[in-house]
Amino acid sequence: MTFDIVTIFPAMIEGALAVGVVGRAIERGSLAVTVHDLRQFTSDRHHVVDDVPYGGGPGMVMKPEPWFRALDAITERGPERPHVVLTSPQGRRFTQAVAKELSVRRHLVMLCGRYEGIDERVRTRVDDELSIGDYVLSGGELPALVIVDAVARLLPGVVGDEQSVVEESFTRGLLDFPHYTRPAELSGPASGRPDGSGAAGGGGGAATDATLKVPSVLLSGNHAAIRRWRKRQALARTLERRPDLLASAVLDEEEREILRELVAHEGTTGTTEA
Ligand code: SAM
């Protein structure tokens, strides 16, 4: 997949894309990202990209011509017309489902606004307007990075173990189960508190046990029990933190049965704690 990102702050994008999973994918050639400096598409000596708003009011508006020139230059490189995404707090909400939808595209162009935003006429060249949440950022660079990262993770060969992408939060409409690594027990200062007291089980509950232990089922070697425990944890977390997701979650028979148990348990105890 190819991404072209247009911004007045290329360094902000380039630095972030040079590291981690996405950085390695670019190095390996699984992903091609070109960052364009919008100022290169200006025609004046000072490379001005903004101007005062018609009708008055605060702030500056990004001039349309550099955006049109940038889009022409990117599109001319062909072979197909790219899918053009404008980052905007007014766009449709970017979710895992939208990331999946974008991941089948071959060529995405991301436009990063600044100031009060981009002259409205540029929208005539935009296929999709995406918001990463109901808040206003100073520019579209962070949203573009968020979108590139989430989409890139879904491409074959980008994340080392593709199963981890399948199991991640939101992929099937559920939050992920809790993860643990060695050591199996933490005590003393390593448990996060000078006196060694802390919340056992990593669940953020009340502090009762001085030793933080990994749930014993994960050490049991019983793969069927581990699989069921993880399903139960993922369902309990989703029920507790994001019950809205359950309406459209894709559950198998075992998960539906666990969910019924959790809901019944919640009805009697007022908690989904499994
Ligand atoms: N005047 C605009 C408004 O109220 O809708 C806000 C402009 S914002 C300060 C500048 C740029 O940041 C936008 O053009 C957009 O590219 C980006 N941006 C800010 N918040 C965003 C969000 N939540 N999602 C996506 N892009 C965002």
DSSP letters of 205-224?
----BSSEE--GGGGS--HH
Query: What pLDDT does 203 receive?
Result: 47
Query: What pLDDT does 274 receive?
Result: 56
- Tell me the best of 9, 60, 86, 88 to mutate to test the pocket of ligand 1, counting ligand atoms within 8 Å of each CB and taking the most: 88
Does pTM surpass 0.75?
A: yes
Residues 112 and 7: beta-carbon distance below 8 Å: yes
**Distance, CA 140 to ligand 1 centroid (Å)?**
6
Query: What pLDDT does 208 receive?
Result: 53
Shortest-distance atom of ligand 1 to CA 136: 20
Q: At what angle do helices 20-28 and 141-152 cross, to 10 degrees?
A: 70
**Distance, CA 136 to ligand 1 centroid (Å)?**
5
User: In the structure encoding, which two tokens stand for residue 15, read together?
Assistant: 């630095």
Residues 6 and 110: beta-carbon distance below 8 Å: yes
Query: What pLDDT does 162 receive?
Result: 76
- Tell me the best of 85, 120, 137, 141 to mutate to test the pocket of ligand 1, counting ligand atoms within 8 Å of each CB and taking the most: 137
Give the closest residue (by CA) to ligand 1 atom 17.
140
Domains and CATH numbers, the chain: 2-166 (3.40.1280.10), 185-195+207-269 (1.10.1270.20)
Query: What pLDDT does 198 receive?
Result: 45
Give the closest residue (by CA) to ligand 1 atom 21.
89
Q: What is the block-wise mean pLDDT of the chain (274 residues), using blocks of 10 residues?
A: 98 97 95 98 98 97 98 94 98 97 98 98 98 98 98 93 80 93 88 54 51 97 98 98 96 97 88 64
Query: What pLDDT does 192 receive?
Result: 65
**Residues near ligand 1 with C-beta < 6 Å?**
87-90, 112-114, 116-118, 131-133, 135-140, 143
Residues 132 and 94: beta-carbon distance below 8 Å: yes
Please give the distance of CA 63 from its chain centroid, rounded to a whole number. Answer: 30
